[in-house]
Homo-oligomer: A and B are copies of this chain.
Amino acid sequence: VEDQVSSRPAAPSIAQWRLYSQASLGLKEYWYPVASSASVRRGSKSVVLCGEQIYLVRNGGRVFAVQDRCPHRCVPFSGDGGKGAARCDFAGHLTCRYHGWVFNLESGNLAAALTDGPESPIAGKVMLRTFPVQERWGMIWLWPGSRPAGPLEADVPDEFLLPDSRVYARFGLRQGNWRYAVENGFDEGHAKYLHRDSLWTAFMKLPGWNKTSIEREAGEPWLSRVQTEVHFDSDYPGLGRWPRYGFWKRSGHPSSERARATCSVRLPGLLRVVYPAFRIYEWYVPVEEDRHIYVQVNVRQARGLDRLKWALYYSLLIRGIQHRFLNNQDAWMVKLMPDSHPERFYRPDASITGWRRLVEQEARDYTTVEQAS
């Protein structure tokens, strides 16, 4: 016995990953999708991204993002329980509900303090923090970092940028730290056990285990899991044969390929799963230490009737079954993982350590590093 695991959590071994272990609130110098456009059709919405509470408001058709605290007395613009604590008295401006301070939504500049009159000396002398925001593909994107925002195109898969691309997205708030969610997504091992009994895999002979290599093509942001050996049922010494397949499971079925879907990850925490018939992207957007927004995305280039057919296929099969079943099981595990814990890796965890190494070596987030020193 090499390792006697005690029941008391030891210091988390993730400390060896320096930048990674500091990034409990996320890597900040990236664009993140935080909500669907539809959810801010009219009115406003408060979101938390990388620990920052941000107020999204649509004004004159455009979405703006500012810090969700009036600098005067720190009352949140979003109020609580639905009653918004902000108003729009003037186009392109936001008025705090408490004392009538009016901020320019674009610049953050205090345009007036209404209750101190037109000549109030404070006008123009207070700045509300604003956040770079874009609305693309039916989604609202935020840049929570402190450095100037880069191009959004650099932070989305190339497929988004193709002509006629249509993006289908589903947003959900999930428990657990964003890093464990990324790892669960890219994790080689769990797919073969946790997801055996989902409706999605009900009719396929899912392999029992495989050997994998973690690979990176030059110039590509994606780190990929490539299966070098795939094994179905095997004899385990002292235990017996596993898995036992029901007669209704078919290995010749295209679903066996589906089972061999290749899986890739890129920074800051974006997963790509390539099935024979479609691809799924998953963002794990940092909220607070114990929560993340989970964004499941499908992209399709199609027009006219094809687009209609795909929308139907997506909504029934992908959103209705794949998204729901597989990912409810994942959400469950990510939630169960404690905040810090001792870890004991096995061979398939090369996917996890590969991903952590990627963060260490290539993450844009200089801020996090500076904070530590």
Contact = CB atoms under 8 A, between A and B. Distances in A.
Interface of A: 1-7, 9, 52-53, 67, 69, 71-76, 79-80, 83, 85, 89-90, 93, 95, 97-102, 109, 111-118, 120-122, 124-129, 187-190, 192-194, 208-209, 211, 231, 234-240, 242-243, 332-333, 335-338, 341-348
A183 to B, nearest CB: 9
B127 A333 contact: no
Contacts of A89: 239, 242
B347 A121 contact: yes
A348 B116 contact: yes
Contacts of A345: 72
Given A118-B235, A235-B118, A347-B121, A189 B99 contact: yes
B120 A346 contact: yes
A341 to B, nearest CB: 4
21 contacts: A2-B125, A4-B127, A5-B126, A5-B129, A7-B53, A7-B67, A75-B336, A79-B332, A95-B193, A97-B193, A101-B346, A102-B239, A113-B189, A114-B209, A115-B188, A115-B190, A116-B209, A117-B208, A117-B211, A118-B234, A118-B236
Number of this chain's copies in the assembly equals 3
A184 to B, nearest CB: 9
A128 B5 CA distance: 6
A80 B209 contact: no
Contacts of A348: 99, 115-116
Nearest to A121: B347
Contact of A76 (B99, B101, B118, B336): B336
A237 B194 contact: no
A113 B346 contact: yes
A6 B193 contact: no
Nearest to A93: B239
A208 B234 CA distance: 76
A331 to B, nearest CB: 12
A209 B115 CA distance: 5
Contacts of A125: 1-3
